[in-house]
Amino acid sequence: MKPIAIIPARGGSKRIPRKNIRLLAGKPAIAYPIELALKSALFERVIVTTEDPEIASVAAEYGAEVPFKRSDELSDDNASTIDVVADAITRLNLSKVDYICSIYPITPLLSTERLVQAFELIRNNSWNYVFPACEYTTPIEKAFRKDKIERLYPLTPEFMNFRTQDITKSYFDAGQFYFGKTFAWQARLPIMAGNSTFIELRRHEVFDIDEEGDWEYLSKIMELAKGQLNR
């Protein structure tokens, strides 16, 4: 059986209200991962888990399954991706599926190629999870903060005089998707520890939306890209 895609999309969002169904370059944001997953032909099913009726309606309009209403307990700020996916596995009796991919709803830059790359890596190796990550533009060892009197202090003083090229590369979670073996989701094995690995993305493939300005900037980039494709 092919993998199952599960898109967790709760209704509450404090930084950007209703962001999962807000228009992004002319389409609801959640439409992008749904359409990508469907067109990829990689998945047996594309499922959205949400407690929000409006999100459920939009998701169904773009071709996703919304087979149940997520509980309120799994729809607050404390609910983890692992808990939400494990809940869907139990509700839908998906334990016999080998692999499940949790795709985040705000991932307009995600590509089929990256999903396939991650799937091939997890299918042909012993990893429990595979996810995309990107290299920090500046070594985290060179980070510094301010103290109570506004004076800076380095977090790792021993590295401040190192050349950048002499410091081991560090990466951050791109926050796009997690391909995992179903037993790992069910057992709630941690993604960021243990038997996990990542595929490396290029910097232009990653864009984190934390505030209104980020949303507007990404919208402009996507509108410009659409204009170039339509020429």
Model confidence at 139: pLDDT above 80: yes
Which helix (DSSP H) or strand (DSSP E) does residue 92 occupy? helix 81-92
pLDDT in tens, 9-58: 999 877 888 999 999 999 999 999 999 999 999 999 999 999 999 999 99
**Band of pLDDT at residue 227, cut at 50, 70 and 90:** low
Helix (H, G, I), strand (E, B) or coil at 102: strand
Query: Do 55 and 13 touch, CB atoms closer than 8 A?
Result: no
**Token pair recorded at residue 230:** 């339509």
* Weakest-pLDDT range from 135-139, 174-178, 179-183: 135-139
- Give me the mean pLDDT over the 160-170 stretch: 91
User: Per-domain residue ranges for the chain?
Assistant: 4-229
**What CA–CA distance (Å, rounded) separates 47 from 196?**
24
pLDDT at 119: 98
Q: If you count them, how many residues does the chain have?
A: 231
Share of the chain above pLDDT 70, in %: 98
- pTM for the full model? 0.93
pLDDT at 145: 95
**Band of pLDDT at residue 228, cut at 50, 70 and 90:** low
* Weakest-pLDDT range from 42-46, 48-52, 95-99, 215-219: 215-219
Side chain identity at residue 173, one-letter code: D
Outline where DSSP puts E strands in the chain. 4-8, 23-24, 27-28, 45-49, 99-103, 129-135, 144-146, 152-154, 171-173, 177-181, 196-201
Of the options 3.30.70.3270, 3.90.1150.10, 3.90.550.10, 3.30.70.890, the CATH number for the domain spanning 4-229: 3.90.550.10
Nearest-CA neighbor of 105 among 201, 37, 181? Answer: 37
Query: Do 51 and 62 touch, CB atoms closer than 8 A?
Result: no
